[in-house]
Structure 1
Amino acid sequence: MLGGAERERHAALPPTRRRRHLLGRIAAKDAVRRLLWAEGADEVYPAEIALHNDDSGRPVVTGVHGRDLGEGLTVSLAHCAEAAVALARRGPCGIDLEEVTARPAGTVDAACGPEERALLARTVAAGDESEALWFTRFWAAKEAVAKERGTGLGGRPGDFRVTAARQDLLRVEHAGSAWEVRCGQVAAPAGLPERMYVVAWTTGGAEPVSQSVSQSVSQSVRRAGMTTEATTPTTPVADESTVLARIAALLRELPDAGLEDAEIGRDTLFHDDLELESIDLVSLAGLLREEYGDRVNLALFVADLELDEIIELTVGRLADYVVASLRATEES
């Protein structure tokens, strides 16, 4: 499945990351092979397809051992728990995979703006499906569009707004354009832990958003009485060791992150050591907001970081930010 250079990169990964890395590579190479077969190619072997990430973290495929992949081939992949998905096509595309699970109460507030929360509430009330399932659809759609753009969410999931939703199709708006995002559900195969996943994908085709549509959505939200209120901080203590211990406890509370027994200290890396997904960081943002109020905004903190800083972010650096934010409020 992997070529020589890919095997070396795989072997150099921490053991906890190897399975997901391999699952993603298998899914991506299978997606490319299926595309090439649909275009009339004969046998295509996995080792003839090399996969790496560019400087922004976006997957890039190239042909090796004489295999020509042609022009304009793009691939997007996602993995979650024991599953992985990928999409390949001639043109832009983005795909995401998320497990359907209950999230901390503050997660929705951290991930969605007031207009989205109103839409989410109306959608849940109109049917018999859970908020957990609908929120997972919203989140996966945001991620799919962010991947199609090649930017990621950048710590600002609220900038990618779901403005219309049904079970199989959502509309996401960002920076004056809109995307249609297809959506489906899939269960884990037999023999694996019982999980239900949402898969969301888009193949580009962004179109400008008319001003009249944006205004009508805002007006409907105001008529529904949706407002954004500041939360009251519950823990005013700004002591480094106390904050660090509290962040570690909140991380262990994250649903399905598998951190219940994890050793978490100042030097623990969110990316390499804890292997947190974007949705986990949003859940953490919600928990921090519940704990400390609006004085601590994880989304804004991450948005100011460069990609390499995000990858190297430690629990200690986050704790320092929280302490500084709390003390700045106390002094003002």
Structure 2
Amino acid sequence: MNFKLSIYFFLNRTSVLKWFVLLVLSFTSLATAAQDLEDLDSLLVDRDLDNYSFRLFTNYKSNKFSIQNSESKARFVPNNRHGLGLGIANKKIIVDIAFNPKNANKEATKKFDLQGTTIIKNRHYSNIYVQTYKGFTAKNNFDEDAEFISDLRSISFGLNYLYTFDDIEFSYALLKAGLAEKRNDNIFMTGGIGLFSGFDYFSSDSSILTEDTSPYFNEEGSIKRFQGVTIGVLAGFISYFKLPENITATVNIMPGMGLMYKKLTVEGKSYTPSNPMLYKLDFLIGLGYNFDRYYVSLTYSNGLYTTDFDYDNRYRLNLTNAKLAIGYRFKSKRKTY
């Protein structure tokens, strides 16, 4: 009962969030209805022991955002962005658990960060992220000292969906899990079209600008709270390359544009910006190397979007995820040639 009451209270904090949750639930219901239990089993369960591996990794995750006008820029960056961890991988799914070492000389950012990508039935590329951060270091481009804002909170979550024109069974997940690719093509490229949706929120007890940085912005730049929900369309380019010496690579690029409903609260008033347009660019680069039972994979992805807050103020959100993994397969890989 308490759990249900907590969810009800959280959702009623903002009507924008409720609409986004309903949108995601509708999308999930449609996706679930399209598959029977047998399909779900084949999607998630890998019974071939040859595909399993144990892995150690180091990663870098960041949810940073900025406010800027024609001359000045204030950036808000989380601390303790590096992590160490271990996991298990197969061609269906990768489960990694990371721990973030704290820097004794810096105040820690409290966070929950989940990002995942999967390819369903060869042509449905899906990406989801859920991020909550509290505590940011405020930086700037006008030589004022950086300052840690402990009560600055950011919440971002959303999904990207891309339908590709050709099968992408090769899967960049195979590269990340260190598995041999059975496709005969040395180079594979395809495109696609899709949709994206997301919710974004940040707030501070006073203003996100410090006393030293607020003179560089107008009154509307001293934001206490922002919330926005967006839906849009995107296009995509996905590629895969077999390189010499058992090296594989992938490059994915997905630009998009959409409409965002935005509400901002500054000192003494709240307002909705007049321009609803939002522009985004997601990309991923990956490299993999295989040697008998061992593999190394390196991936770097970045999601960037920007929108207008009116009054000569623009907002930019940058979601970054980089990972270096070293894996050991339970069994030697089979030759595929």
Which structure exhibits the higher relative contact order, with contacts defined as CA atoms closer than 8 Å and separated by 6 or more residues? 2
Q: Which has the higher strand share?
A: 2
Provide TM-score, normalisation by structure 1: 0.23
Provide TM-score, normalisation by structure 2: 0.23
